[in-house]
Each structure stands twice: as C-alpha cells, then as structure tokens.
Amino acid sequence: MNLVFLPGFSTAEKVTNVSGRGVGMDVVKTHIEKIGGTVDLQSKPGEGVMVRMKIPLTLAIIPALIVTGAGERYAVPQVSLLELVRVEVRGERKGIEMIHGAPVYRLRGRLLPLVYLNRELKVGTKGREAAEPASRRSIDLPTAVERNDVDGQAVNIVVLEADGRQFGLVVDEINDTEEIVVKPLSKHLKSISVYAGATIMGDGKVALILDVLGLAQCSRILAEGREHIQAEPAQVTAEVARGKQKLVLFTGPGGARMAVPLELLARLENIPGSEVERAGNQWVTQYRGQILPLIRVSHALEERRHLPTGGDVLSLPTTEMLQVLVLENEHQSFGLVVNQILDITESTLEPHTPSTRAGVLHCSVIAERVTELLDVPALLRGGEKYEPGEAAVAKT
C-alpha cells in the first residue's frame, strides 16, 4: 500500500494529455509529515480504502493577546492572562520602583515583579546586551520601553500568571485579542524555552507565541517566588481573616458609587448603542454568538425605575457607546449597563450599614468613599422591563 505515496504513482491504464495535472498522495503525505503528523491507508477487497490521518494536538486554535515588542508581534495565550495595566507615569515613575536592582510595580498594594519583553528576548538593542556582562544588564535600562518608564511616558503591563506566580510583562504596544492557529516550531527553535510555537497572522506574517512559564523561568521570576512561598500563605490567611473582597467599582446616576464582587465578573465591554435590540419586554444585544440580556443600573434599583429620562440616566435606544459589566450568576449571564467603570479594588467592606432599598446588600466605605454593594442575584431576578414610553421620550 505504501506504493501509493511514491511520486509518479498512478492507477491509470494509459497516459493522456491530463496525466500528472493533479495532486498525488505523495504531496499529501509530505505536508502532513511537515507538521508532525502521519497518514496511512487500510484497504479491504470489495469494501474500499480507509485513509487515516493523525495531526498533532499542537496544531490547535487558541485565543491569544497580540502584543508588540521592538516592532515585532508576539502572541500571549489568554489562559495565562490576568489583566492589562497602563501606567500613565506623568513625569515620574509612579508605582514602578526598583528593589535590589529589579523593577516592580505596586498593583493594589502588592508588589508585582516586572519583566521587560525586549530585554528577555534580546531584541531592539542592536546586540549591545550580548556584549555586556550579566551583572550590568541586570540593572541597566537598555530598551526603548524601559526608557519610556524613565522619561515619563506610559508603560503597558500585561499581568500574567505562571505556576501560581504573578508577574507583569512590559511591552511596547498592546494590539488586540485574536483566535490563532498554533503551529509547532522547527527543530532549530524548539530548544528556546521562551517560545511555545508560531502562528500566521491575517497579513501573512509570522508571529511567535510566547511560553509564559518559560519566560518566567528565564527571567528568574519563579525562583524569586519560591523564596517567598512561606510568606504568601500567611498573607492570604491574614487577608481572609480581615474579610477582604475584590470588587469592581463603577458609578450610577448622579455619580453614586456602586460595586459588585469581582468573582461574578466575566468581562468588561464597550457595546455600541446601535447594537442594542428589543426582544419582547427586554433589552438585549448579540454577544459572542449568544443573546445577552441587558439591565441598566439606572433602572434596576427600585426607586429609580420611574425617574424621568434625562441627565445621566441611561436611556435606550441610543447611538452612544455603553459601558457594560458582563456578569455570571448560577450559570446565567447578563450585562449590567453602568454610567462609568472606575476601578478594581480590594476592601474589607467595613464599616457598613444595612441596605435601604431592594437590589443593594449594604453600604460600605471603599477607597475612602461611601459605596453601595449591589445584590447581583436580586438584580437578575428583578430584571428590567421595556417601557414603551421611554422610546418616545428618546426620539423627542
């Protein structure tokens, strides 16, 4: 049966003018073996032939964040991505500090080790790093993105997690998220631990996929993390004892500060008002192949449902961009439309006072401001009904 895979093999009885114009099985086998797969044939007289192809699992489609370093694009697997931070330095290295020669960023009260992508990949430095001793490279700021930090320009930080250790990857630019096809590296590049594969972008150019674990090991982030492995559980225990909780802060009508637990948040989205539709008595939008119900915080709270439309009360339909918290509760997803998303913070929720209206758990002092903690299950149960008069007001 292996004769089928030989170049020039044919089952035709005679040679014609169109012989050799098609693609033979030798071409099929060659391309499959290039990606590390196999192909074989099984034939049974009187029944037919079965072609069996095996393609490696590394040839898969994964979501990734596309970043830029020294003019080259790289893909960061989203499975390791926690959040994105943009530091507006404004003339001083606000939040970014040097501890024992290593850069760190103070993120919500915790020190986040920083790894500069250009430095670790040794790109954009014209070979200067390769000629310098390691001791000097550890404290010098050779790359353009590191000079941005010193010169007072904005710094883009991609917060990643590898082997339970969080660190910030400093890049030149953050582009967008894409679904990419992972292709294995050639044997010449497999020994480089910072790369997990490659992908072909929409413009036909190749982008390397970063190995977050390998990048952390190469920059010695994991080694530093093990030194503090005994201190971390003690800190977590202390925070739990104090009742700390991570929250998403935002504003409602009249600048009222509100919050929901971060654990219920799936994504933060900006949704064009033109994409909002009415389905029955509910406002909805098409979101990632599903129909996402929308609840406006300005209409969900009991005493605000009958306020006249105007001012900072969100009205639908609209042509403006809507800031939406995509929340999940008991396998149900919905979008909470808010006036403005402020920040993600951590608080003990003390002191607090009992709620005075439905949809609110209690009021607490968060970030030195009185903030209402919303009852997400109650908002989902109450929902928001479409009011026919509202559309007429919006048109006028």
Q: Which two tokens stand for residue 20?
A: 């050799």
Mean pLDDT for the stretch of residues 136-145: 39
* Tens-digit pLDDT profile for residues 229-269: 444 444 544 444 456 788 889 988 878 889 998 888 888 88
Amino acid at 264: L
Q: How far apart are CA 90 and CA 104, in angstroms?
A: 18
Which of the two residues, 386 and 217, has the higher pLDDT score? 217
3-class DSSP state for residue 32? helix
Prediction pTM value: 0.43
* Tens-digit pLDDT profile for residues 292-325: 999 888 787 755 444 444 555 667 778 788 899 9
Q: How far apart are CA 392 and CA 317, in angstroms?
A: 10
Instruction: Name the pairing type of β-strands 332-338 and 321-329.
Output: antiparallel
- Tell me the residue length of the chain: 396
What are the phi and psi torsion angles at 45 (to 5°)?
-55, 130
Mean pLDDT for the stretch of residues 5-15: 77
What are the phi and psi torsion angles at 304 (to 5°)?
-100, -5
Point out which residues pair with 162 in neighbouring strands. Answer: 165
Q: What is the DSSP letter of 313?
A: S
* Tens-digit pLDDT profile for residues 277-289: 988 888 899 988 8
